[in-house]
Structures are given as C-alpha cells and as structure tokens.
Amino acid sequence: MLVAFATVYVGIIVSGQIRENAVQRAASSVAFDMDGFIALHAQELATEQVLSPKVREMLERLLSPASMHRPVIAFRVWKGDTVAFSNERNLIGKSFARTAARKRAWQGEIGVEFDQLDGEDDEQVRSLQLPLLEVYAPVRQKGTDRIIALVETFEIAVNLKRELLVNQLTAWIVIIAIGLMVFVSLLTMGRQIGQLTHRQALSEQRQRRIARANMKVSESNDLRLIESTLQHGPVQNITLALLKLDPVNWAFMMRTAWSYLVPFSAWRT
C-alpha cells in the first residue's frame, strides 16, 4: 500500500514538473520572439494610451503566422488592463479583470497559461476548442526596466500537447516500473526474512531437544555414579562390618543357648 501511494505521489509530482518545464520552455521561446518583433514598435505606449494607425498596421504584419512562423491565431497589446490593440477588433478599448498570468507579466515575469484559458477576454478563443498556449510578454521602455505594455499571443499547441502526453506517459511507465521493482524487492526480502525466521525457530527447537537429551544423559550418568559410589563405598563398608561382627554374634548366640540348655539338663537328672 505504501509503495503504491509513493508511486502515485511521485508520478503526479514528476508529471506536473514535466508539464511545467515544457510550457515554460515554449513560453520563453514565444517571449523571445515578442521582444525581438514587438518591443521596438510599441515604444509609443510609454507616453500614449493607444497606438498610431501606422504601428497597428506594422504589428498586424509582424504578428501574423507567416511572419512569426508560429501558429498564432490571436494577439493583443495591453496598456494596463485595457486592450490597446488586437486582431479581435471588438476587444480594442475594453478593460478586463487582471488574471494571474497577466499579473505575473506586469511584475516582469513571463505569464503563461496552457489549455486552461479562464479569463473573461478568452471567450472567443475558447470557442475554438483547441489546445492553446497563451503567453504574456512584458514590453519595456527602451533603455530602462520600466514595463510600458504587454503583448499577449494565443497559438495552437497541438504539438506541445502531444509532446506532453508522450513525455508524461513515458515518465509514468518508468515510475510504475520502478515501483513494481521496489514492491517485488520488498516482497522477496519479506519472504527471505520469513524463511530465516522459520529456520531460526527450527534451529532453536533442535537446540532445545539436544539440551533435553543431554540433560537426560547427564541424569542417567549421575544415577550410575551414585550407584557405583554406594556399591564401592558405604554398602561395601557395611557388608564388611557385618562379616566382622558374625563371629561375635555366633559366640553370643551359642552362650545364650547354652545358658538355657544347662538348667534344663540338670532338671532332667
């Protein structure tokens, strides 16, 4: 049970890490392209709230799939929480609540969402029902670290999703294989420990039997020793004493019998 729990836990952690690394790698590539394509043309947002028609036209060409060589389906340029420009004309000039990804971008990081578009402004792209990579890239004022705008792009991420599935499936197979190996190893160790315990119990049982047998032999030897000691010791001395006392007893018996016979003879006479 513990091995299964550990396997699932490690699998979830590793799978999540694989997803995070792949998404961040893809987002970094997009952000690098945005910085090279867009930063120079969006500098007027440092002082203006909207882009000039000339810059808008330039951005439309630069952010097209043919120019970026990426499957971009939508893009937006944010000034604060307001869409300053987008290929979705109906969104220009509208403001939306700040999402977590956009908040990270305004803090100078790369904001990214993959296949989890939950913003109020994402309704139109969600309707496509495709795996999409949403990336926010901060645009800094030239020569400073001041963030003057954000460029948001949506691109079809079928290949990224396929790559994630393959890598995650591979990771799960490896982790489950390792978990099975650990389980089999523990099971084998348990059986070996059980066998060793059984053998030890049998050995202790044999030792107790041998100890009892040795005790019986020792008791028998002690009895023989006592018998031998009695035969060659006190019994022999008592027998010898009786033999020595026999003549005395015989004489005493003869005198006693004679003392009775003499009066009897005199009476007859």
* Residues comprising the chain, all counted: 269
Mean pLDDT, the chain, whole residue set: 78
Q: Is the pTM of this model over 0.85?
A: no
Of 101-105, 125-129, 188-192, the poorest mean pLDDT is in 125-129
Q: Which pLDDT band, with edges at 50, 70 and 90, does 173 fall under?
A: very high
What per-residue confidence (pLDDT) applies to 228?
61
Tell me which CATH homologous superfamily contains domain 2-176.
PAS domain (3.30.450.20)
12-68 confidence digits (pLDDT tens): 998 888 888 888 888 888 888 777 677 777 788 888 787 888 888 888 777 777 777
CB 71 within 8 A of CB 65: yes
What per-residue confidence (pLDDT) applies to 265?
46
CB 58 within 8 A of CB 43: no
What per-residue confidence (pLDDT) applies to 268?
45
Q: How many CB atoms lie within 10 A of CB 161?
A: 17
CB 130 within 8 A of CB 156: yes
Which residue, among 178, 124, 161, has the nearest Cα to 3 in the 3D structure?
Answer: 178
104-120 confidence digits (pLDDT tens): 999 989 988 887 776 66
225-243 confidence digits (pLDDT tens): 665 655 555 555 555 555 5
Distance CA 129, CA 122 (A): 12
Extract long-range pairs of 44-50: CB within 8 Å, 24+ residues apart.
45/77, 45/79, 45/84, 45/139, 45/148, 45/149, 46/141, 46/146, 46/148, 49/79, 49/82, 49/84, 50/79, 50/84, 50/85
Helix (H, G, I), strand (E, B) or coil at 135: strand
Which is higher by pLDDT, 233 or 149? 149
Place of tokens 């978990």: 179
Of 155-159, 178-182, 207-211, 227-231, the poorest mean pLDDT is in 227-231
Domain boundaries, the chain: 2-176
Helix (H, G, I), strand (E, B) or coil at 100: helix
Residue 194 token pair: 């059980």
Distance CA 9, CA 101 (A): 27
CB 154 within 8 A of CB 72: yes
Distance CA 158, CA 141 (A): 34
Mean pLDDT on 205-230: 69
Of 113-127, 182-196, 252-266, the poorest mean pLDDT is in 252-266
